[in-house]
Amino acid sequence: MWLVSRTGADFVARIRTVCRTAAVLWAALRLMFKRQAWPRTVREQIGKQILFTGYEALGLTLLIAAAVGVSVVAQGQVWLSRFGQSEMLGPLLIAVIFREAAPLLVNILVISRSGTAIVTELATMRVQGQVRTLDVQGVDPMIYLVISRLIGVAVSVVCLTIFFVAFSLAVGFLVGLSLEVGSRDAVVFIESVLKPIRFRDILSLLAKTVLPGLLTGVICCVEGLSIRGLSTEVPQAATRAVVRSIAVLLVISAIVSLLTQL
């Protein structure tokens, strides 16, 4: 009986968390299209969030992209050349890097790096009473704290994913060139990669970057602002935010992959 009661309580708590997160996301999306949501202070916060989440993570993103480029692009060229299937390189790269690896790895990087930072920052502001101070001063925390981070994270994920794809392909081509496998003409290589791209692939990439980016921002903001004022809750909130963000990322990635294959 105790086990059933505990399971039911956990299920209800999860449903409430999902509903609260969805409500915050809906409220933030509605506010984004209103003029009062874009004062200079909010635009500055968006710029700072993009600087931290996107620009400062670019080096690590390119490093991971280079590793993926060496392992996927170069190895793909080697094995396809051995079996005389070099024309399959483009579709292979689109399927592995463009559709799956790039958005998934970039989102995980942003969640682990910037997601924990957002939770820690907002939770600390909550503990120190800064959130209440903003409210007393007439500053809407939803606009100043939440919307700026939602937009900053989503824009950063999209831009980092584009850099990831371009750099991994470039590194893979250079490695293949040094190994003397695959095409030695950069134009031919680019055409072989761009030719298999369809409109649904672009939609898939946008869905796997924008949606997880927005939801990561919402989840991290909700977890950071929902603590009760104890500093000991900060690491717990950060852990919950990372776990839930990754779970949402995997679910969205799987659903989008299935829908784009129909």
Question: Residue ranges of the chain with pLDDT lower than 70?
Answer: 1-9, 11, 74-90, 176, 179-186, 262
31 is in which domain, residue-wise? 2-260
Which pLDDT value is given to residue 181?
57
The pTM of this model reads: 0.88
Q: How many domains does the chain have?
A: 1
Which pLDDT value is given to residue 5?
59
Q: Is 102 helix (H, G, I), strand (E, B) or coil?
A: helix
CB 121 within 8 A of CB 220: no
Which pLDDT value is given to residue 127?
86
Which pLDDT value is given to residue 136?
82
Instruction: Give the tokens for residue 219.
Output: 């989840």
User: What is the Cα–Cα distance from 112 to 95, expressed in whole angstroms?
Assistant: 25
Which pLDDT value is given to residue 116?
92
Cβ atoms within 10 Å, residue 142: 15
Burial-class residue 113 by CB neighbours within 10 Å (0-12, 13-18, 19+).
middle
Instruction: Give the tokens for residue 236.
Output: 């717990």
